[in-house]
Structure 1
């Protein structure tokens, strides 16, 4: 248990809480994306040898590719399962305890991965990837919720965006650990797949020392004293009345309401455009093709003309680009706002995808085009990190109230994982069939996403939930502004009266 001195808190407490939650949370998503690139050939050989030893069958190249694609993409199906169970888990156990329990899936997956080679079972790798995917699916939903509910309003975007920073850091870490000189060699690939247990263990040791989400404690549990204690520890000073009043107002607005179920959000007109927004942006985050570069980096850089023995070092650069861009986005998001960074990121990705296609088209006739192709990949990833990578995870926290938020994250997470599975399965075949035009579909997705953000997404920077909700009401109840306004005023009067009482 924390000491009395620790309970007083300090500003450092919030920073350490973010690091502890993220190192075993969204870092795992980026890490488990990246570590699958290095052992590609070794695991494919292992699969082929297993079929030959068991059934005396020599697999064709396309069959090996298919099994490998299943191993890689099954991670997304695990993530979908995790996204679907994350909502009920956060309601029952709370945000912090949910993250701690989530490590059960991780440790079980790591155990299967490290013993798969000795057991001569590629099926154990598939099951391991499902379990690790469940872990990532839960953490990708719960961690931004935990951060958004724990951060002060003026830092809400930056703190929530740290989820994306740690995801990018996980990518870089996975790429570095996957180098041949470390664990990316033939004798060590099973240890590489199981190395994700180390960040999980760090979280298990450190996270219990930090407080639960203040909003969860007050709104879901009705424990005002515990909420105030958590706020004091996270802020390092006396709790400001305005911050506590905002939480109390949200509690009053949701009093007597049970947490929403996902299907109920689809029938609720008052959150129609909020739901459309998170579904479109979460889908675009994967359909833009950025994460496919990490899944199949060797395919992409081979198409760009990079020598095979240099690819592993180039891929580390891609992760470093996204990590750098996410840090820049973290510093700028409270200055530039969510809408501008999200729209700008998609527009830049569209431009670089077009330039990349042109460079691939002329690569055979112009010698320096291969360098332009590589530059386009890096700028594409930089643009992704500056906008969609970070802002997407912030939106559900800012545009849904406490009762709808878990269900909203379930829907957003489901869309993200379904589309990651689709792109993961199709991308190698897109590269094979479309060749230099493989990024044209991604360019179309980015352009359409930028248009949607520019036309329909209101700015949420520094605004209270009630102010953001009123802006969405103009879309949800278009043509009924006057009626909606009178209802909102009546509801606000009820909230003020109940708060005074």
Structure 2
């Protein structure tokens, strides 16, 4: 890690690209998840007052919870659409230009959200949140492609961490702005929801000064001169002919590899275990409770018995825990391995959920148990972020070969947003009906995912996609596994014969 930090000093424009691309990329995704939570009470009041003024109808609690859940969850529907639109957008207009244009979507959504209370229209909240989701869906793909293609080879690991860290910082920023001392009040909450526009404007001003992705300029547009100019701007006045030749070799290699469609991915038997692994882990990423806790952190802490005036600060502590754990994940992932981190994360969070259910059930008998529940929620966030979250996000690019990588990424993006929508819609109902037992749902997901990884997924550390594919095949093909075992035993048997004979 220290070596990467030292290397960053030699590439100041890459550092600038990391920050500028992040504020309109994965940062917006994190801010969109956590920024809606602090004003939840005021949003529900707006919905209720609007229905009384228009229709003279006072909503029941379940009706209010349903509308609130839809305001939260429509973000995921927009994200799913955005992830679909991102594919042609980044290919036609470029990674940088896609990020620039995407900021106008965030600004349009912010205008609607800021105006919703003045207009007494909760429908504007629906549309605004939907546009935020579209912005996040496009931004996730464009940011990932832009910064990884702008970074030199020796900084790929550091850049990968910044992509995940930007999500964490975005979540933390939403919680921080939601404090009563800042924007979390009855008068200022629309500005909290619309604060994404500030970062969109910031990127609109700064990103045009950075070059387009060098790989896009050469691979997609065939403009070698523009590629070399971009490399000079990003990496300094050095000879970059070697890097250009590597990109050209990649272009030649890709000409012989046909990208498979999503339907071909589902039909191809040779990648069915990779597809199952990606699908199950991505579903577990949403259904394990991580984003449910963020979406409804105030409701979770209320259920845990935390006093109302302390809830915003407890929610802020969640973001702090996740930022610390993202640093820890970067430090240990190469030493421990991805499968070990997944298993350790699922096992630890399962134990935490069991203890958390017990403390929630008995919290009425002792006040201090409420604070134990809060600590356990922090422990869950820290453990899951340091393990499964850091491993699952880049999984499609690790376990699929080039032919299936694009379609696998699209499938995982769809699963991610679908899972986010399901969690957003169902979690309030679970809290209301199951109360202290709501975390048992997440417990079952973690246990099931952990068992699947243990029995069905090989270790992926320091292996190429082809080597991982061979390991999957060896793990699940009994006849081939027995042949390999026989070949491994044969030399030892031969050597024992010779040692006995001589």
Q: TM-score range, shorter-chain basis?
A: 0.7 to 0.9
Instruction: Please report how far the alpha carbon of residue 224 of structure 1 lies from its aligned counterpart in structure 2 after TM superposition.
Output: 4.7
Q: Per the alignment, do residues 150 and 275 of structure 1 end up closer, same or farther by CA in structure 2, a change over 3 Å counting? A: farther
SS of residue in 2 equivalent to 1:102: helix
Does 1:109 pair with 2:109? yes
> How far does the alpha carbon of each residue in 1:153-201 deviate from its partner, in whole angstroms, 9 at most, with x for none?
5543431232221111111111111111211111111111111111111
Task: Please say if residues 86 and 138 of structure 2, whose CA atoms lie closer than 8 Å, have aligned partners that are also in contact.
Answer: yes
Q: Per the alignment, do residues 282 and 212 of structure 1 end up closer, same or farther by CA in structure 2, a change over 3 Å counting? A: farther
Task: Please say if residues 22 and 166 of structure 1, whose CA atoms lie closer than 8 Å, have aligned partners that are also in contact.
Answer: yes
Aligned position for 1:357: 357
Instruction: Please report how far the alpha carbon of residue 472 of structure 1 lies from its aligned counterpart in structure 2 after TM superposition.
Output: 5.1
Instruction: Please report how far the alpha carbon of residue 232 of structure 1 lies from its aligned counterpart in structure 2 after TM superposition.
Output: 5.0
Task: Please say if residues 345 and 384 of structure 1, whose CA atoms lie closer than 8 Å, have aligned partners that are also in contact.
Answer: yes
Q: Per the alignment, do residues 477 and 233 of structure 1 end up closer, same or farther by CA in structure 2, a change over 3 Å counting? A: farther
Task: Please say if residues 161 and 330 of structure 1, whose CA atoms lie closer than 8 Å, have aligned partners that are also in contact.
Answer: yes
SS of residue in 1 equivalent to 2:15: helix
Task: Please say if residues 161 and 394 of structure 1, whose CA atoms lie closer than 8 Å, have aligned partners that are also in contact.
Answer: no
Which deviates further from its counterpart, 394-403 or 176-185?
394-403
TM-score scaled by length of structure 1: 0.86
Aligned position for 1:143: 143
Question: Equivalents in 1 of 2:211, 2:260: separation in Å?
Answer: 25
Instruction: Please report how far the alpha carbon of residue 451 of structure 1 lies from its aligned counterpart in structure 2 after TM superposition.
Output: 3.1
Q: Per the alignment, do residues 21 and 269 of structure 1 end up closer, same or farther by CA in structure 2, a change over 3 Å counting? A: farther
Task: Please say if residues 39 and 185 of structure 2, whose CA atoms lie closer than 8 Å, have aligned partners that are also in contact.
Answer: yes
Q: Name which one, 1 or 2, has greater alpha-carbon Rg.
A: 2
Question: Equivalents in 2 of 1:198, 1:269: separation in Å?
Answer: 48
Q: Per the alignment, do residues 116 and 212 of structure 1 end up closer, same or farther by CA in structure 2, a change over 3 Å counting? A: same
Q: Per the alignment, do residues 154 and 398 of structure 1 end up closer, same or farther by CA in structure 2, a change over 3 Å counting? A: farther
Which deviates further from its counterpart, 252-261 or 347-356?
252-261
Task: Please say if residues 47 and 64 of structure 1, whose CA atoms lie closer than 8 Å, have aligned partners that are also in contact.
Answer: yes
Q: Per the alignment, do residues 361 and 240 of structure 1 end up closer, same or farther by CA in structure 2, a change over 3 Å counting? A: farther
Question: What are the within-5 Å matches in structure 2 for residues 102-501 of structure 1?
Answer: 102-231=102-231, 233-236=233-236, 237-239=238-240, 241=242, 247-255=247-255, 257=257, 259-400=259-400, 404-464=404-464, 466-468=466-468, 470-471=470-471, 474=474
Q: Per the alignment, do residues 196 and 102 of structure 1 end up closer, same or farther by CA in structure 2, a change over 3 Å counting? A: same
Question: Equivalents in 1 of 2:435, 2:178: separation in Å?
Answer: 27
Question: Equivalents in 2 of 1:110, 1:438: separation in Å?
Answer: 33
Question: Equivalents in 1 of 2:272, 2:13: separation in Å?
Answer: 37
> How far does the alpha carbon of each residue in 1:138-164 deviate from its partner, in whole angstroms, 9 at most, with x for none?
222332333444444554343123222
> How many positions carry a matched residue from both structures?
474
Question: Equivalents in 2 of 1:148, 1:274: separation in Å?
Answer: 23
Question: What are the within-5 Å matches in structure 2 for residues 5-24 of structure 1?
Answer: 10-24=10-24
Instruction: Please report how far the alpha carbon of residue 301 of structure 1 lies from its aligned counterpart in structure 2 after TM superposition.
Output: 0.8
Aligned position for 2:69: 69
Instruction: Please report how far the alpha carbon of residue 137 of structure 1 lies from its aligned counterpart in structure 2 after TM superposition.
Output: 1.5
Instruction: Please report how far the alpha carbon of residue 314 of structure 1 lies from its aligned counterpart in structure 2 after TM superposition.
Output: 0.8
Q: Per the alignment, do residues 418 and 391 of structure 1 end up closer, same or farther by CA in structure 2, a change over 3 Å counting? A: same
Which deviates further from its counterpart, 125-134 or 109-118?
109-118
Question: Equivalents in 2 of 1:93, 1:17: separation in Å?
Answer: 18
Question: Equivalents in 2 of 1:115, 1:335: separation in Å?
Answer: 50
Task: Please say if residues 155 and 334 of structure 1, whose CA atoms lie closer than 8 Å, have aligned partners that are also in contact.
Answer: no
Question: Equivalents in 1 of 2:247, 2:402: separation in Å?
Answer: 10
Question: Equivalents in 1 of 2:271, 2:235: separation in Å?
Answer: 31
Task: Please say if residues 458 and 475 of structure 2, whose CA atoms lie closer than 8 Å, have aligned partners that are also in contact.
Answer: no
Question: Equivalents in 2 of 1:238, 1:462: separation in Å?
Answer: 29
Does 1:29 pair with 2:29? yes
SS of residue in 2 equivalent to 1:375: helix
| Unmatched runs of 5 consecutive residues or more in structure 2 | 1-8, 483-502
The answer to which structure, 1 or 2, has the higher relative contact order (CA under 8 A, 6+ apart) is 1
Question: Equivalents in 2 of 1:308, 1:373: separation in Å?
Answer: 15
Q: Per the alignment, do residues 179 and 199 of structure 1 end up closer, same or farther by CA in structure 2, a change over 3 Å counting? A: same
Question: Equivalents in 2 of 1:145, 1:456: separation in Å?
Answer: 30
Question: Equivalents in 2 of 1:209, 1:474: separation in Å?
Answer: 50
Question: Equivalents in 2 of 1:356, 1:211: separation in Å?
Answer: 49
The root-mean-square deviation of aligned C-alpha atoms, in Å, is 2.8
TM-score scaled by length of structure 2: 0.86
Which deviates further from its counterpart, 54-63 or 260-269?
260-269
Deviation beyond 6 Å, 4+ runs, structure 1: 475-478
